[in-house]
Structure 1
């Protein structure tokens, strides 16, 4: 039952926002009593924390699996982007914004964990790309990794990128291309263009 509650709550939070969904909403949606929910979770903050961390670990595991496939670094980043979009495609209520505003301690914990995972992943991605000759060899690897993480985080800020002007898919596509065009060699540019062209077909 706990797993079912987590799955349902995560879906509702992504669709409606962390603040908007109440424990009453969740119990009514699932057709169970609030007492059943509280048998597994101390309070709503505990539920939000476990949902957030659960989704984080699911996506992190997916990223690890993609990295284990041994794809070239440019393809790897596009596969990770697809994975993230698959899990976050139903976002309709700026869950990151609500998390930051109403559950800052959980947001900060998530942000730090995202940073640790992404930094390691991107640093390794850049190093492999340089070794393969598809990224420029004069890159400052740590700087590029930090800038990439900062950008990925910033495009979720609706005050900077309002949904009325940009969809999340457009932002992810444009940002990834922006990042890669700044670091690829001519050889890497050919791979990148082929991926972009195939995605548009």
Structure 2
């Protein structure tokens, strides 16, 4: 059983690297087999399709990211500004290797995986960042007159929209050119703008220095 789990993990990791490098549409099952030195028969024993393998790769990404963010959010020994910045950094670092072309590839050729990823971003906002904001309000480091639900919705909507190629395509080419940056930078800058606006002056200085 352990050997089977290890083999499955190796397949997922190898496929994910190829998806990042070549995109989903351009990566073939033959490419994955060749990178691992296994037969297609062996590969299909674990995954029945390329889409199933893609979904498994992103599921593994989400599990890893969630575990790290949860560990930060639940740590009562970390000051709120550092906790906020650290959790955002974790997500940005996991998104860093994913180029905009792969996101567009997912939306067009693997819509079910794309929709699942967007749902994860939304649920993550409600489950984790809502807790963080409420903690900040209780500690006096987030402005108390803010509507928590609205802040969370702005966060989730901003990230989802900026990562969606179809949304960016609606803007003039000059603006699209400015957004030709890694998803991690888009995420980091959008979130910094939002959260800089909700923090108290003291917390803002701590956030900048964290």
The two structures have a TM-score, normalised by structure 2, of: 0.83
CA distance, structure 1, for counterparts of residue 94 and residue 70 of structure 2: 15
- Range that drifts further, 140-149 or 16-25: 16-25
Q: Does residue 18 of structure 2 align to residue 12 of structure 1? A: yes
Instruction: Check conservation: 1:15, 1:93, Cα contact below 8 A.
Output: no
Equivalent residues in 2 for 1:186-201 (5 A)? 186-195=201-210
Structure 1 residues 164-184: Cα deviation after superposition (integer angstroms, max 9, x where no partner) = 743444323322220112101
- Range that drifts further, 170-179 or 29-38: 170-179
Q: Does residue 40 of structure 2 align to residue 34 of structure 1? A: yes
Normalized per residue, the structure richer in helix is 2
Equivalent residues in 2 for 1:154-169 (5 A)? 154-158=161-165, 160=168, 161-162=176-177, 165-169=180-184
CA distance, structure 2, for counterparts of residue 53 and residue 65 of structure 1: 18
Partner secondary structure for residue 133 of structure 1:
coil
Q: Does residue 75 of structure 2 align to residue 60 of structure 1? A: no
Equivalent residues in 2 for 1:89-104 (5 A)? 89-92=96-99, 94-104=101-111
CA distance, structure 1, for counterparts of residue 183 and residue 99 of structure 2: 10
| RMSD after superposition | 2.0
The two structures have a TM-score, normalised by structure 1, of: 0.87
Q: Does residue 96 of structure 2 align to residue 86 of structure 1? A: no
Task: Flag as ranges the 4+ runs of structure 1 deviating above 6 A.
Answer: none
Q: 1:118 to 1:74 in 2, by over 3 A?
A: same
Instruction: Check conservation: 1:123, 1:142, Cα contact below 8 A.
Output: yes
Instruction: Check conservation: 1:16, 1:92, Cα contact below 8 A.
Output: no
CA distance, structure 2, for counterparts of residue 157 and residue 73 of structure 1: 30
Instruction: Check conservation: 2:143, 2:200, Cα contact below 8 A.
Output: yes
Partner secondary structure for residue 46 of structure 2:
coil
Structure 1 residues 173-198: Cα deviation after superposition (integer angstroms, max 9, x where no partner) = 32222011210112222212323xxx
**Aligned-pair distance for 1:163?**
7.3
**Aligned-pair distance for 1:58?**
1.4
Q: 1:88 to 1:16 in 2, by over 3 A?
A: farther
Partner secondary structure for residue 39 of structure 1:
helix
Aligned to 1:73: 80
Task: Name stretches of at least 5 consecutive residues in structure 2 with no aligned partner.
Answer: 1-6, 169-175
Aligned to 1:153: 160
> How many pairs were matched up?
195
Instruction: Check conservation: 1:134, 1:185, Cα contact below 8 A.
Output: yes
Instruction: Check conservation: 2:121, 2:160, Cα contact below 8 A.
Output: no
**Aligned-pair distance for 1:95?**
2.1
Instruction: Check conservation: 2:95, 2:184, Cα contact below 8 A.
Output: no
